[in-house]
Amino acid sequence: MSVGEGTSEYTVKSIMDRLYQTILTPPDNQFVQVRLGFDLDDSEQVVKLGGFTITEDEELLRQGSILEADQELMRVVDYDAANVEVTVTRGEYGTTPTAHLTPMLMNMNPPYTRASVFEAVADEMILLSPKLFTVSQELLSSTTANVFSIGDNLAVEVLTVNPGDFTSNVDLHGEIVDFHPMVGGRALITNKPYGQVWLRYRRRMMKAQYETDLLDDLGVDERWVNIVMYGVAGDLLVERDETAVQTEWVKSVLEAENIRVGTRMSLAGGLRQYRNMLLEEAQAEMKSEYRTRVTMRPPMRQLT
């Protein structure tokens, strides 16, 4: 799923692309790129190039240079200028060698590799919990007595339990367990046997595995995109010697949100401050949206 017109659901990729566009790669500071000349399988060591976007960029390609194709990083061993091809070692820095198809633009010596940005986004999502959470509900049928199988592996905490028909006034409550032998997995255990119940529950975050993963499937609310994005940006910019173009670009982004970056605050500090402001706003919204359940008890009769 891409960013912009036509986007219907957020994915990990859409957050990464937006992060590159708004913070990591200012318009005047783009990556040096070279075209892939022919399709490449996951084991070939010789890469045929299709030409450089700028002729002078060819001078930057030398032994030890890094080429990035999607998330895979390849290290240049030798460059044959006459045949415009490079010999490389595949899967550098723990990345996975994969097949790549033309047309493709490969990044040369990217300051922010796509693999590292992916991991940073995935980590930031997990760190949202338990401060933030999403809520879902499911109609459950009892497996035996008061034990119900739960299909959502992200379910962690009961908010409410109600009779399936909502017509009876049974006082139901329950607990979610990671594993119950009666169902062979995650289950709800209630205080009273019942045929069907509506469970409303809190969901945890799950580690992203692919750029195509949907935020909803990971337990992340789409309203938290900016929290994730600015948290990742703050982590990536820690103790980096940024160019003047990059510095001024990020400053302008922060100043648009009334975050002043000066001699006492680094770019990373400003980004984290903005992330924490967004997090506090989201927490306040969550508290008002999902209030703690209150049970009213009748007053005790006084003894005479």
Q: How confident is the model at residue 211 (pLDDT cuts 50, 70, 90)?
A: very high
pLDDT of 21 over the 90 cut: no
Burial 180-207 (b: 16+ CB within 10 A, else e): beebeebbbebeeebeebbbebbbbbbe
Q: What is the pLDDT of residues 224-236, one digit of tens each?
A: 999 999 999 999 8
- What's the rounded Cα separation, in Å, for the pair 156 and 97? 36
Please report the pLDDT score of residue 269 as a whole number: 84
The residue that leads in pLDDT, 255 or 68, is 68
Phi/psi of residue 176, nearest 5 degrees = -95, 130
Q: Is the pTM of this model over 0.95?
A: no
Token representation of residue 178: 């990671």
Q: What is the DSSP string of 122-135?
A: HHHHHHTTTTS-EE
The ranges assigned to domains in the chain are 1-30+111-131+210-291, 32-110, 134-203
Percent residues over pLDDT 90 in the chain: 62
Percent residues over pLDDT 70 in the chain: 90
pLDDT of 188 over the 60 cut: yes
Fold annotation for 32-110: Elongation Factor Tu (Ef-tu); domain 3 (2.40.30)
Please report the pLDDT score of residue 299 as a whole number: 55
Nearest 5°: the CA angle 242, 258, 238 is 25
Q: How confident is the model at residue 1 (pLDDT cuts 50, 70, 90)?
A: very low
Please report the pLDDT score of residue 14 as a whole number: 94
Please report the pLDDT score of residue 121 as a whole number: 97
Q: What is the pLDDT of residues 38-73, one digit of tens each?
A: 999 999 999 999 988 788 888 889 899 999 999 999
